[in-house]
Chains A and B, each alone.
Chain A
Amino acid sequence: MRTRKNILKQIFKVRLLYLLMLPTLVYFFIFAYFPIFDGFRISFQDFRFVGESRFVGFDNYREAVQTPGFWRAFRNTLILGFGNVMLTAFIPMVLALLLNELRIAAWKRFTQTIIYMPHLFSWVIVGGIWIFMLSPNAGIINVIRNLFGLDSIYFMAKETYAQPIMIGVNLWKQAGFVCILYLATIAGINPELYQAAMIDGAGAFKRVFYITVPELLSTLRVVLLLNIMGALRMFNQIWVMRNEVIAPKVDVLMYYVYERGLVQFKIGYAAAISVLIFVLTFIITAISNRFIKYTA
């Protein structure tokens, strides 16, 4: 009896904190936890729109792991995901170091703003722009190739280029954002460190390498985690930029769910794959969290 009273008392003491948290919890329960459990239930059913849905046990899961399309999407998710995570973590770091070397403040801010801009645009716009920029007869890359007497390449219709293009365009869109994260860290580095290094006779390159880069490592950790989360939920880019020719190389798990569920009406099957993705996200996030913490 005493302990229960105690608990109630403790809760009462922080009731305002609970009140502040209440809207968030309500939202998450209604729009995240309930739907995921509902999806879990559907994944064991031969879902029908009208009337009783039959319980089919693990049939949907079995079908998923036996379909080549699922594994293709799985592989693509890993390849594109890995590329996105790595490139969008390290290249912006180089970019931030380069930007940081610009001495004129206005010019630096201007460049930084321009590079950030693509991050503001929706994938509909970014995808549209790049499909045009990569087209064989009018796209800028092929116009330049033609100037040098090279033949045009139909980038958007070649399986070999599909994955690099998706990763590249994603980098183009996200680089400015990640770059700002690094720049923010650089701005926060204690200037005395540099002065001390100068007195010790360290050159510009050494200063960057021994002071700036180590300071950036903690940010790198955050960036890697953010990228991993983003990589597994990649959908909009593929939705906008895919076409049937490159589909076998770029259709990722999220797109596969969308296609099976809402284009081909296999709701139960799609739900099963959703659950698999959720479990996968959980595992990968947990592992990478551990791994990144250990190495840091």
Chain B
Amino acid sequence: MKLFDKKRCLILGLVLLVLLFCPAHIFAGGEQEKEEIPTLIWLTNVQGGTNPEDDLIFQKEIERLTGVKVKLIKPPAPEYDTKMTAMLATGEPLDIVYLLDSHFDALWDQHLFEPLTDRIMSSKVLSDPEIIPMSEWDRIRRDDGDIYAVFQKFEQGTLPIVRADWMEKLGFAPPETLDEYYELLKAFTFQDPDGNGKDDTYGLALGFTIYESSGFFGAYGFMKGFAKDAAGNLYAPHATEEAIPVYEWLAKLYREGILEPNFVTNKSSNFRDLFMTDKAGMTCYWAAWVGMFNQMVKTKNPDSPFKARGLVPPKGPGGRLLRAGSDGLMVIPKWSEHKDLAFKILEFWHTHEGCVVSCFGELGHDYNIVDGKYVMTEIGEASMGQHSAPQPKSLKWKNPFGELEGFDEAAEIIRKYARPEMVTPYRAQWETIVRSEAAKIILGDISAEQGIKNMQRRFKEEGIYK
């Protein structure tokens, strides 16, 4: 046997070929050498483009506008928490980190984040009450009097979104109470609103992450998460007997085939698809999506009668109430070596240029300026506002393109009725416990009374209830 017979040469050649043609970055070490202009590391799962190529363009645009080099680290959404924890735990060189308020709350007392109070107060942009009012800053001020984070965007909230064209066609006025909602949803299910002669529509399509924050509980004045009772102890309004009528209302929808039956396993994309493809007359989702729904359907099919509109939530004994989105926050880790530059980015994010980047993307890629007017490119049309913030936090912001169809009134409803939930470190537990027992009630597996009892027992088990 020869040492180098044909076969071996072939294999060796193949391996060499792969090594030769593999992208050069594979051999680059992880530790970056010190450059003259530092590159900031920015961990986020919302800012940037829609795909890796897009992110590179985003980085260039940030550099063009601020002179600061950034590098995005953008783990996929489902793994974001895992990744963020691991990176923070091991003190990775990070300069900007995006996180939700609940994580911020859970991690805050680990002393990971740089206090930003002085910088914010001396910043022309961030301390301008016409951009961000002081009351907003006070909301995220910690007990020690310091502010540790900067907002990412205006978080809006979720509200019922209806097929307004179907509603008109079936002769309904916008519903006011839970009973009227029920009648409307029933009509969507059984009166063939799309007119295709088939019984293939549902009244309401929801996902597992959304049904408790849709405004139906708000009719009884219940806000997602926890509240404090007279003695100052935490309790979950959804896990009290007063909430039973809402559970029973939802269970009735399911029993009668009005609620799309996959709601436990539906991801957001599932119920969004159902709503956009004439399968459901109502869904509950973020206000920004009212505009996105209209836009997406119209791009695919310009003749479609599709008309999505936000609805005022039902009125009940507790008035009307929607949940505002949880704050997405940007923080600077204590060990960042470029805190000034990092803060410059946070500040930039709330300037007009920053808002343009966050809403539309990059000059020349997503939009152009022709004679002082903004014009979307084809790519911009396709990705419409997916660059993280459909609506910036800045109160000065005016969308130069005008908002997407239906968005303004939806945003108005949110401003009027939405309140943020109380920030506690127990959001994950709340969601697990309430959602799972609620699902069992809605599916008719257990009675509402039993479900409430289960919730209370499980809160005790977790040590949240005393």
Find B445's partner among A68, A137, A158 (CB 8 Å cutoff).
A158
A51 touches B436 (CB 8 A): no
Residue A167 at the B interface, CB < 8 A? no
Interface residues of A in 36-56 (CB under 8 A from B): 48-51
Q: Which of B86-94, B160-168, B321-329 forms part of the interface with chain A?
A: B86-94
Size of the A side of the interface (Cβ < 8 Å), in residues, is 29
A48-B110, A262-B82 given; A154·B436 CB < 8 A: no
Quick one: closest B residue to A134, CB to CB?
B265
In the complex, whether A69 has a CB less than 8 A from a CB of chain B is: yes
User: CA A67 – CA B432 in complex, angstroms?
Assistant: 16
Contact B91 A245 (CB under 8 A): no
Closest to B79 in A: A262
A267 and B261 alpha carbons, distance in the complex (Å): 38
B461 at the interface (CB under 8 A from A): yes
A245, B436: Cβ atoms closer than 8 Å = yes
Task: Tell me whether A98 is interfacial, beta carbon within 8 Å.
Answer: no
CB of A247 within 8 Å of the partner chain: yes
Does B262 sit at the interface, judged by CB under 8 A? Answer: yes
CB proximity of B432 to chain A, nearest CB, Å: 5
Against B, the Cβ 8 Å flags (1 = close, 0 = not) of A128-169 are: 000100011100000000000000101011110000000000
**Given A49-B112, A157-B439, A244-B435, A136-B262 contact (CB < 8 Å):** yes
Residue from A68, A154, A245, A264 in contact with B461 in the complex, judged by beta carbons closer than 8 Å: A68
B440 near A245 with CB under 8 A, answer yes
- Distance in Å from the Cβ of A62 to the closest Cβ of chain B? 14
Checking B85, B264, B335 against A262 with a beta-carbon cut-off of 8 angstroms, the contacting residue is: B85
Cβ-based interface call for A196 (8 A) = no
**One of B106, B265, B334 near A157 (C-beta < 8 A):** B265
- Residues in A whose Cβ lies below 8 Å from that of B72: none
Report yes or no: B82 in contact with A247, Cβ–Cβ below 8 A.
Answer: no
Contacting residue for A135 out of B110, B262, B432, CB 8 A: B262
By beta carbon, the residue of chain B nearest A240 is B78
Residue B183 at the chain A interface, CB threshold 8 Å: no
Chain B residue at minimal CB-CB distance from A51: B111
How many angstroms between the C-alpha atoms of A152 and B260 in the bound complex?
13
Question: Which residue of chain A has its CB nearest to the CB of B461?
Answer: A68
B91 and A49 contact, CB distance less than 8 A:
yes
Distance A160 CA – B29 CA, assembled complex (angstroms) = 50
A265 at the interface (CB under 8 A from B): yes
- The answer to whether B261 and A244 touch across the interface, beta carbons within 8 angstroms, is no
Q: Give residues 62-98 of B contacting A (CB, 8 Å).
A: 81-82, 85-86, 88-89, 91
Chain A residues touching B, majority SS: loop
Cα A272 to Cα B415 with chains together (Å): 46
On chain A, the residues within 8 Å of B106 by CB distance are 264-265
Interface presence of B431 (CB below 8 A): yes
- Alpha-carbon gap, A248 to B446, bound state (A): 15
CB-CB under 8 A from A261, the residues of chain B are 85
Are the CB atoms of B264 and A245 closer together than 8 Å? yes
Interface string of A245-272 (1 = CB under 8 A from B): 1011000000000100111110100000
Give Cα A156–Cα B107 distance, bound, in whole angstroms: 34
Contacting residue for B208 out of A49, A69, A243, CB 8 A: A243
Q: Is B428 an interface residue (CB 8 A)?
A: yes
Picked from A158, A159, A244, A263, the residue with its CB within 8 Å of the CB of B82 is A263
**B335 cross-chain contacts in A, Cβ below 8 A:** 50
User: Nearest CB to that of B429 among chain A residues?
Assistant: A264
> Given A49-B88, A49-B112, A50-B111, A137 and B432 touching (CB < 8 A)?
no
A243 and B264 contacting across the interface, CB-CB below 8 Å: yes
Residue of A69, A131, A248, A262 near B265 (CB, 8 A) is: A131
CB <8 Å contact, A50 and B334: yes
Contact A154 B261 (CB under 8 A): yes
Q: A49-B91, A49-B112 in contact; A137/B439 too (CB < 8 A)?
A: no
- A263-B265 CB under 8 A given contacts A50-B110, A247-B432: no
Say which size band chain B's interface belongs to. 20 to 34
Scan A74-108; emit 1 where CB is below 8 A from any B CB, else 0: 00000000000000000000000000000000000
Q: Tell me the B90-119 residues at the A interface (CB within 8 Å).
A: 91, 106-107, 110-112
Chain A nearest CB: distance from B459 CB in Å?
12
User: Is there an interface contact between B436 and A244, defined as CB atoms closer than 8 Å?
Assistant: yes
Contact: B81 with A152, CB < 8 Å?
Answer: no
Task: Give every chain A residue within 8 A of B111 (Cβ-Cβ).
Answer: 50-51
Q: Are B261 and A263 in contact (CB under 8 A)?
A: no
Q: Which of A131, A137, A245 has the most CB of B within 10 A?
A: A245
In the bound complex, CA of A49 to CA of B85 (Å): 9
Q: How far is the CA of A245 from the CA of B262 in the complex (A)?
A: 13
Instruction: Establish whether residues A69 and B261, one from each chain, have CB atoms under 8 Å apart when the complex forms.
Output: no
Known: A51-B111, A243-B208, A264-B428. A137 touches B91 (CB 8 A): no
**B443 proximal to A (CB < 8 A):** yes
Query: How far, in whole Å, are A40 and B428 apart by their CA atoms in the complex?
Result: 27
CB neighbours of A156 from chain B (8 A): 264-265
Please give, as numbers and ranges, the residues of chain B lying within 8 Å of A158 by CB-CB distance: 443, 445
B435:A137 contact, CB within 8 angstroms: no
Question: Shortest CB–CB separation between residue A38 and chain B, in angstroms?
Answer: 12
Q: How far, in whole Å, are A68 and B440 apart by their CA atoms in the complex?
A: 21
Q: Is the CB of A244 within 8 A of B461?
A: no
Closest to A266 in B: B106
Knowing A51-B111, A136-B261, A137-B262 are in contact, say whether A69-B461 is a contact too (CB < 8 A).
yes
| Interfacial residues of chain A within 14-67, with CB under 8 A of chain B in the complex | 48-51, 67
CB of A126 to closest CB in B, whole Å: 15
For A67, list chain B residues within 8 Å (CB): 461
Residues of A within 8 A of B88 (CB): 49
Which chain B positions have C-beta within 8 A of A244?
208, 264, 431-432, 435-436, 439
Q: Which residue of B lies closest to A142 (CB)?
A: B261
Please, which residues of chain A bring their CB within 8 A of the CB of B440? 159, 245
What is the chain B residue whose CB lies nearest that of A47? B89
Q: Are A49 and B110 also in contact (CB < 8 A) when A69-B461, A263-B81, A265-B85 are?
A: yes
A154 touches B110 (CB 8 A): no
CB neighbours (8 Å) of A267 from chain B are: 89
Q: Is B443 within 8 A of A154, CB to CB?
A: yes
Q: Residue among A51, A157, A248 with the most chain B CB within 10 A? A: A157
* 11 A–B contacts from the bound complex (CB under 8 Å): A49-B110, A50-B334, A50-B335, A131-B265, A156-B265, A243-B265, A245-B443, A247-B432, A263-B428, A264-B106, A265-B85
A residues lining the B interface (CB < 8 Å): 48-51, 67-69, 131, 135-137, 152, 154, 156-159, 243-245, 247-248, 258, 261-265, 267
Given contacts A159-B445, A244-B439, A262-B82, 13 further A-B contacts (CB under 8 A): A49-B91, A50-B335, A68-B461, A69-B462, A131-B265, A136-B262, A137-B260, A137-B262, A152-B261, A154-B443, A157-B264, A247-B432, A262-B81
